[in-house]
């Protein structure tokens, strides 16, 4: 590597998530060597947050929008990291991921396979499909990075939607079993069922870094076997 390439690596840079796309929830800032340059600035825009990943571990997050001077700002982790630097070259590598703070709304969901439970009144097995909509947001960015995103450069809304939706059937079955509603009563209690489902899902999803802000059950459909019985 020539001296010109070396010096260009040390020029200050502006680190920001430009042209944020609504379909992307988490985006890694592209960097060749993952070093902090002299007098670089981190810009966290409206509706954004930033994750600082030091030597492979999500160490800190910046949730407030603004301009952060990576050379002098008194943000605890940035200050600590800067003290470790030696001259222009640093063996301590920093990667920065941006994440979307805004709520992702009106995502449709539906059960791919029938949900099974035992009717508490008629004592017969019931199989049904269900559908609705939900909204969510990133609530614990450090959990999301550690448990879901990992080393991915981008994590999309569709990735999150599929992961969240895969948790719904088990929660639906558990709430139906606890509610003691007969199959004839389900459609009259969709709001109550939705409330029970979101309450049951929330602790698990929070460990993954997400929070359900809205969960709706629009309707149910019984399979042919259940109708016959």
The pLDDT, as a whole number, for residue 92 is: 53
CB atoms within 10 A of CB 226: 17
Q: How far apart are CA 223 and CA 8, in angstroms?
A: 65
Cβ atoms of 147 and 206 within 8 Å: the answer is no
Q: How far apart are CA 95 and CA 134, in angstroms?
A: 32
In DSSP notation, 71-114 reads: TT---HHHHHHHHT--SS--SS-EEEEEEE-SPEEEEEEE-SS-
Name the residue among 198, 140, 193, 144 with its Cα closest to residue 168: 198
The pLDDT, as a whole number, for residue 89 is: 45
**206 dihedral zone (left: phi>0; alpha: psi -120 to 50; beta):** alpha
pLDDT tens digits, one per residue of 33-63: 655 565 678 899 999 999 888 777 777 788 8
Cβ atoms of 130 and 175 within 8 Å: the answer is no
39's enclosing H/E stretch is none
pLDDT tens digits, one per residue of 91-120: 556 788 999 999 999 999 999 888 888 888
The pLDDT, as a whole number, for residue 168 is: 94
**DSSP letter at 66?**
E
The two tokens of residue 16 are: 């920001």
Q: How far apart are CA 101 and CA 47, in angstroms?
A: 5
Q: How far apart are CA 229 and CA 123, in angstroms?
A: 11
- Chunk the chain into consecutive blocks of 10 residues (it has 229) and report each block's average pLDDT, rounded to whole numbers: 39 77 91 61 91 78 84 48 45 79 94 85 84 95 91 93 94 88 84 94 95 92 75
146's enclosing H/E stretch is none
């Amino acid at each position: 590597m020539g001296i010109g390439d070396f010096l260009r690596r040390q020029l200050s840079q502006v680190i920001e998530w430009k042209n944020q796309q609504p379909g992307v929830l988490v985006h890694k800032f592209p960097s060749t060597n993952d070093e902090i340059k002299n007098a670089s600035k981190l810009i966290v825009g409206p509706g954004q947050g930033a994750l600082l990943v030091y030597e492979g571990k999500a160490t800190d997050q910046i949730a407030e929008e603004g301009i952060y001077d990576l050379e002098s700002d008194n943000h605890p982790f940035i200050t600590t990291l800067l003290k470790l630097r030696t001259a222009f070259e640093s063996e301590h590598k920093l990667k920065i991921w941006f994440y979307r703070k805004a709520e992702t709304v009106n995502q449709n969901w539906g059960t791919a396979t029938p949900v099974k439970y035992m009717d508490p009144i008629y004592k017969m097995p019931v199989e049904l499909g269900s559908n609705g909509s939900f909204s969510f947001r990133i609530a614990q960015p450090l959990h999301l990075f550690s448990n879901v995103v990992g080393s991915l450069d981008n994590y999309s809304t569709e990735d999150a939607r599929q992961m969240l939706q895969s948790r719904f059937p088990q929660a639906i079955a558990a709430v139906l079993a606890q509610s003691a509603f007969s199959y004839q009563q389900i459609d009259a209690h969709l709001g109550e069922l939705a409330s029970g489902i979101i309450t049951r899902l929330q602790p698990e999803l929070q460990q993954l870094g997400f929070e359900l802000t809205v969960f709706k059950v629009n309707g149910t459909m019984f399979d042919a076997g259940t109708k016959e019985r």
